[in-house]
Amino acid sequence: MEILALNCGSSSVKYQLFDWSKKEVVAKGMVERVVVGDSYIVHEVPGKETYREEHDCPDHEVAVQLIIRTLTSKEHGVVSDMSQISAVGHRVVHGGEKFTRSALIDDSVLAAIKEVQDLAPLHNPPNILGIEAAKSVLPNVPHIAIFDTAFHQTMPKHSYIYPLPFEWYEKHGVRRYGFHGTSHLYVSKRAAVMLGKQPQDCNIITMHIGNGVSHCAIKNGVSVDTSMGLTPLEGAVMGTRCGDIDPAIPAFMMQKETMSAKEIDGVLNKKSGVLGITGHYTDRRDVIECAEKGNELCQLAIDIECYRLKKYIGTYCAVLGRLDAIVFTAGVGEMGWQVREKALEDLEHMGIKLDRDRNKASMTRKKENIISTDDSPVKVFVIPTDEELVFTEDVVAILEGTYADHMQFEYSFSKPEFVRK
């Protein structure tokens, strides 16, 4: 059984082909610069040289066709024809309150995704375009939606309702939803294994730190709070997003700079965060390098980001009471030892003891590591996330009729014998 996972952004389409019988990735890649011009595909097959091809992709359907052609290519492909693909899994950023888990896409499901696309205007529209494009190119296979928001639907009302007119929630769905759900699910299940416990016995803080950043408080195995909100703009400092700010600032700056709502939204989402502070960078490697050379704004960006990380750890410790583990994941979480070290400084009084040598040595996206001291009451893990594996297992379970809520469903990676390939 071959499962194709698609993650469609506004100008890119990521893909992965997974052989379920062998439990391994047989190919993965990305089509970049879709719609914007000068597009190309980068295609990776284990044991082979990476293949790159320039190909104009004026829309997502052409991009999906390019992926199919590459996967079936005699020279670079891994399947003889697309009949070998049993299903397609689609990442959908926002499912609103309608979806608490992954779902088979039919007309009603697609319509429901479209209904909430204004809640994630940067993400859901390209997700929808990807679904429609893939269904057009592959009309005879099941298509399944995997929602970023689904994992967080266990939050209690006091976590997700904002102190705003309640009718805004009733009429327009204004509430906290949270994102990166598949990542938080995966690493929390792996952390439970590393702790030698069942998920329902674990209280964990998961910290997904990449260009987008979100944190999650997981109590007895389920999400009870998360940093992103109605949209992915709320929460931590991110690559280009501001995260938590005084909500009066946008109106203030709209008056000062005569900006429209669309313009201020663009600044908050695309020109703020680390980029806004430094004026040049989003990649934390560049920020750290420039800070080490004496760039004061880059150092300030690091200080602000790590201070906010520390604040979320403290907040979620208060929410959870007993804390078993903290997990760092995603690009910066997995590779940025400097960020992890600074965020965990002076937290020994909370039972969090960092082993600095272990932390510096943990700079890989392929291996799970413990970076706390042996006597640390709270364990600190670096766990490379694998959202695509969550996609795949949800898809297979839906096809086989065995899918259930994640606390009743046993993923392969939640078993002690699991080995990441």
Catalytic residues: 148
**Phi (first) and psi of residue 101, to 5 degrees:** -165, 175
Distance CA(378)–CA(306), nearest Å, equals 19
Other C-beta atoms closer than 10 Å to the C-beta of 415 total 11
Residues with Cβ within 8 Å of residue 74, at least 6 apart in sequence:
none
User: How is residue 65 written in tokens?
Assistant: 């066709």
Q: List the alpha helices (DSSP H) in 202-353.
A: 249-257, 261-270, 273-278, 284-292, 296-320, 330-335, 337-343
Tell me which DSSP letter residue 248 carries. T
Residue 211 and residue 335 in contact, taking contact as beta carbons nearer than 8 Å: no
Provide the pairing of β-strand 379-382 with 40-44: unpaired
Residues with Cβ within 8 Å of residue 387, at least 6 apart in sequence:
91, 182, 183, 186
Helix (H, G, I), strand (E, B) or coil at 368: coil
Distance CA(420)–CA(23), nearest Å, equals 10
Distance CA(70)–CA(61), nearest Å, equals 14
Other C-beta atoms closer than 10 Å to the C-beta of 99 total 20
